[in-house]
A = this chain, B = another copy of it.
């Protein structure tokens, strides 16, 4: 709480901590991470926060910490209320002059929950976003599979989309990164097989982590783990 006594209000940082490997943090994220008095991170209702785990080895200790515990099945729970309560707690720190960093897996603005805090706090508070290495780039690196080249259209496709929508999208794009695979893996496999794209698809779990696993898509578990992704390129290789 180093800046509690001055009159300045605090700055809120949306801090991308990258895809999992703590060495994929940026120098900027590291500097802010080490110096802010208050850290905030998403976490499951029970157990460890992935974002905090990525940052853990870099933390000097002595910082206040706020875990935003969000049930996985948010439909059954009041996500709105959880974000509102967290935004309120963050706003109090900012008004007291404390800088606050929200740790975000990957990048804060690429399908990240940070934007729901941002939406509630922008306008009233100074906010700075620190971009991070995103999961499609980490997966491409690990798979040795370039995402896109030249004038390729690259589509990021969430696997929960309807089978028909996925089919239409995959039929027309040059390249795709299919995210949030999890329990949708059978549906995605069906679509890829139907479009004759299965041999163009690469599957990876937990890219950049020690538990990273690259296996043929046909051998992936159903459901797939939360941190899994499928990359597809129509030409097989982006450079072809």
What is the size category of the interface that chain A forms with chain B?
35 or more
Q: Name the one of B16, B142, B144, B156 contacting A148, with C-beta atoms under 8 angstroms.
A: B156
Q: Which stretch in A37-45, A88-96, A132-140 binds the other chain?
A: A132-140
Asked if A28 is at the interface (CB within 8 A of a chain B CB), the reply is yes
A70 to chain B, nearest CB (A): 14
A87 to chain B, nearest CB (A): 12
A156 to chain B, nearest CB (A): 4
A161-B155 contact given A26-B18, A109-B147, CB 8 Å threshold: no
A131 touches B138 (CB 8 A): yes
Alpha-carbon distance A119/B151, docked complex (angstroms)? 18
- Interface pair B151/A154, CB less than 8 Å apart: no
A141 close to chain B: CB less than 8 A: yes
8 A Cβ contacts from A130-176 to B: 130-134, 137-138, 140-142, 144-158, 160-161, 169, 173
| Residue A223 at the chain B interface, CB threshold 8 Å | no
Q: Are A132 and B133 in contact (CB under 8 A)?
A: yes
Is A10 in the interface zone, CB < 8 Å from B?
no
For residue A76, CB closer than 8 A to chain B, the reply is no
The reply to whether A150 and B158 form a contact with Cβ atoms under 8 Å apart is yes
Query: With an 8 A cutoff between CB atoms, is A122 at the interface?
Result: yes
Q: Is B24 a contact partner of A25 (Cβ separation < 8 A)?
A: no
- Residues in B with CB closer than 8 Å to A152 are 111, 158
A27 to B141, CA, bound (A): 16
How many copies the complex holds: the figure is 2
Is A97 an interface position by the 8 A CB rule?
Answer: no
Q: Which of B23, B145, B155 contacts A154 (CB 8 A)?
A: B155
Contacts of A30 in B (CB 8 A): 27
A127: min CB distance to chain B, Å: 7
Query: Does A115 lie at the interface of the complex (its beta carbon under 8 Å from any beta carbon of B)?
Result: yes
Nearest chain-B residue to A161 (Cβ)? B151
A-B contact pairs, 13 of them (CB 8 A): A16-B133, A18-B26, A23-B27, A24-B26, A26-B26, A27-B27, A110-B137, A115-B239, A131-B208, A132-B137, A153-B157, A153-B161, A155-B156
Residues of chain A having any CB pair with chain B under 8 Å: 14, 16, 18-19, 21-28, 30-31, 107-112, 115-116, 118-119, 122, 127, 129-134, 137-138, 140-142, 144-158, 160-161, 169, 173, 180, 208, 237-239
